[in-house]
Chain A
Amino acid sequence: MLEQVAYRIGRGIARIILRTHNIHAEKLPEINGNFIVIANHSNLYDPAVLMTACKKTAYFVVGEDLYRKRNIRFIERLYRPIFICQGGDNSLAAMREIYSRINNGENIMMFPEGHYSYNTRTEELSPSTAGFIKMLGCTLVTYRIEGGYYNYPYWASTFRNGPMNGSVSGVYSSEQLSLMSDDELNELIRNDLYTDADVYQEQTGYLYPGIRLAEGLENVLSICPVCGNYNSIYAHGDIIECRTCGRSTRYTSKGILARNTDNEGFPFDRVSKWQTFIEDKIQGDLKCNSLPEIKYENVTLFRILPDHIRENICCGSLTVTAKEMHICKKHFSFDDIKTSIVLYRGSTLLFTSSDGYFGISSDRLSARLIETIIKGGGVYGKYRKDY
């Protein structure tokens, strides 16, 4: 009863947030029996979008890092979310809790990508998604949220004031789901949730104005495409520039990298294209054994203990090579890293090695760069492909 009242209050707040932020959320149709809603994840407004869309009380699956945020711990008591270890090596406890709640007739809402969109597009989901949803034996609702990436990109330090739109992609009964193969259902979910923020912005022409639009990009655009230097990009205000070669560009309210008048700028007009260049560059450097040693100062290494407790181990210099990273005399071979996730504007990397569940964090850390090296340099893919 308390949870239902709390959900209604939360939903009321969510509706106010959406109204004041130019966000539209299509309501879910009447559904007989309980259901699971899955949606793509673009920014922190997404839970408010789903709450507004869903009148019936439903419980979120959330990252366990929220448990450590004291100012929102009340959510745990009021809403009973299901915590899942992002970057942890198994999600069995969360799966069992979802299964148990659905069997008890409750409704679930989740973002199966597990994190905000990194590169404007909906990411590939685990191949196990379809099998698990069929196993739940409830109605599936697929929900697509568009415009969220540019409204508040995962790397940004400021909100932008642009439109977002949530819509129901499909409603599928358990009987319909049972008639589909896992591959068919995975494909259906992929299509229903897929969005490309660049294409959406180009088609709609929406603007996402705000202040300090480029700040935070230095954590993502970590290699200069002109001089090839690692970690030489610096962002201030709306401007991104390379400290080594001096090239610069301006990030506009359309999300476009516009050429400055005083130099030729960079060869990409979208952040996503620059990110693709970075992934290709790292792959190439790994293949040719030419990846430079990358260093970061003032990086905190911490461990996540059972019951979601964070234990800081040390703060010091982090060195990343093609095969391993080391900090404070502790070495992590990439062969030994099973899963990882980038959080907090690209400045934190959570990962699981055979020694446990760890994190590294710093304001100037390019966590996405390190994750790309881990994926390219270690055996990460072996664990990831079917997990």
Chain B
Amino acid sequence: MFEEVKKFLVQSNQINPDLVMPETAITDLGISSLDLFKMVLDFEEKFNISISDRELSNIHVVDDLVKLAEK
């Protein structure tokens, strides 16, 4: 699942794939709050999940997205 999330992050935000590790902070990827918000909407659609407010508040590192995708 990590690879899938990584591919999604790289494609949707044009990020250097080498930077994307499970422990990488989202803010360190150079993603603004707006980009992150758009990404979350796309993420919910792509992985067919619904992310709660509490889960949204807990998105800090790439691995948090992986766990959400695995739900």
Considering only CB atoms, which chain B residue lies closest to A354 in the complex?
B60
Q: Which residues of the partner chain A approach B57 to less than 8 Å between Cβ atoms?
A: 85, 88, 90, 92-93, 306
Q: Which residues of the partner chain B approach A338 to less than 8 Å between Cβ atoms?
A: 27
Q: Taking the complex as formed, is B37 at the interface, i.e. its CB lies under 8 A from any CB of chain A?
A: yes
Which of B2-10, B13-21, B28-36 makes up part of the contact surface? Answer: B28-36
Q: Could you tell me if B27 and A132 are in contact, using CB atoms closer than 8 angstroms? A: no
Q: Which residues of the partner chain B approach A91 to less than 8 Å between Cβ atoms?
A: 33
Considering only CB atoms, which chain A residue lies closest to B35 in the complex?
A128
**Interface set of B (CB-CB < 8 Å, partner A):** 27, 30, 32-34, 36-38, 40-41, 53-54, 56-57, 59-60
Q: Taking the complex as formed, is A96 at the interface, i.e. its CB lies under 8 A from any CB of chain B?
A: yes
Instruction: Tell which of A90, A126, A354 touches B36, judged by Cβ atoms closer than 8 Å.
Output: A90
Considering only CB atoms, which chain B residue lies closest to A128 in the complex?
B34
Q: Which residues of the partner chain A approach B54 to less than 8 Å between Cβ atoms?
A: 306-307
Q: Which residues of the partner chain A approach B56 to less than 8 Å between Cβ atoms?
A: 90, 92-93, 96
Q: Could you tell me if A387 and B40 are in contact, using CB atoms closer than 8 angstroms? A: no
Distance A370 CA – B54 CA, assembled complex (angstroms): 29
Judged by DSSP, the binding face of A is helix
Q: Determine how close the nearest CB of chain A comes to the CB of B17; give it in whole angstroms.
A: 21
Q: Could you tell me if B59 and A90 are in contact, using CB atoms closer than 8 angstroms? A: yes
Give the 6 A-B residue pairs with the shortest CB-CB distance, closest first. A128-B34, A93-B53, A92-B56, A386-B32, A93-B56, A131-B34
Q: Determine how close the nearest CB of chain B comes to the CB of A61; give it in whole angstroms.
A: 14
Q: Which residues of the partner chain A approach B38 to less than 8 Å between Cβ atoms?
A: 135
Q: Determine how close the nearest CB of chain A comes to the CB of B52; give it in whole angstroms.
A: 9
Q: Could you tell me if B33 and A126 are in contact, using CB atoms closer than 8 angstroms? A: yes
Q: Which residues of the partner chain A approach B40 to less than 8 Å between Cβ atoms?
A: 92, 96
If A93-B53, A95-B37, A132-B34 touch, does A387 touch B27 (CB 8 Å cutoff)? yes
**Interface set of A (CB-CB < 8 Å, partner B):** 85, 88-93, 95-97, 99, 126-128, 131-132, 135, 306-307, 338, 354, 383, 386-387
Q: Could you tell me if B36 and A92 are in contact, using CB atoms closer than 8 angstroms? A: yes
Q: Which residues of the partner chain B approach A97 to less than 8 Å between Cβ atoms?
A: 53
Q: Which residues of the partner chain A approach B41 to less than 8 Å between Cβ atoms?
A: 96
Q: Which residues of the partner chain B approach A95 to less than 8 Å between Cβ atoms?
A: 33-34, 37
Distance A136 CA – B32 CA, assembled complex (angstroms): 17
Distance A131 CA – B53 CA, assembled complex (angstroms): 22
Distance A127 CA – B56 CA, assembled complex (angstroms): 21
Instruction: Tell which of B33, B53, B59, B60 touches A387, judged by Cβ atoms closer than 8 Å.
Output: B33
Instruction: Tell which of B27, B33, B59, B60 touches A128, judged by Cβ atoms closer than 8 Å.
Output: B33
Considering only CB atoms, which chain B residue lies closest to A352 in the complex?
B60
If A383-B27, A387-B27 touch, does A92 touch B37 (CB 8 Å cutoff)? yes
Considering only CB atoms, which chain B residue lies closest to A88 in the complex?
B57
Residue from the set A92, A99, A135, A383 with the largest chain B CB neighbour count within 10 Å: A92
Q: Could you tell me if B53 and A90 are in contact, using CB atoms closer than 8 angstroms? A: no
Can you identify 24 A-B contacts, CB atoms within 8 angstroms?
A88-B57, A90-B33, A90-B56, A91-B33, A92-B36, A92-B37, A92-B40, A93-B53, A93-B56, A96-B37, A96-B40, A96-B56, A127-B32, A128-B32, A128-B33, A131-B34, A132-B37, A135-B34, A135-B38, A306-B54, A306-B57, A386-B30, A387-B32, A387-B33
Considering only CB atoms, which chain A residue lies closest to B30 in the complex?
A386
Known: A92-B40, A93-B56, A96-B53. 17 other contacts (CB 8 A): A89-B60, A90-B33, A90-B36, A90-B56, A90-B59, A91-B33, A92-B56, A93-B53, A99-B37, A126-B33, A135-B34, A306-B57, A307-B54, A386-B30, A386-B32, A387-B27, A387-B33
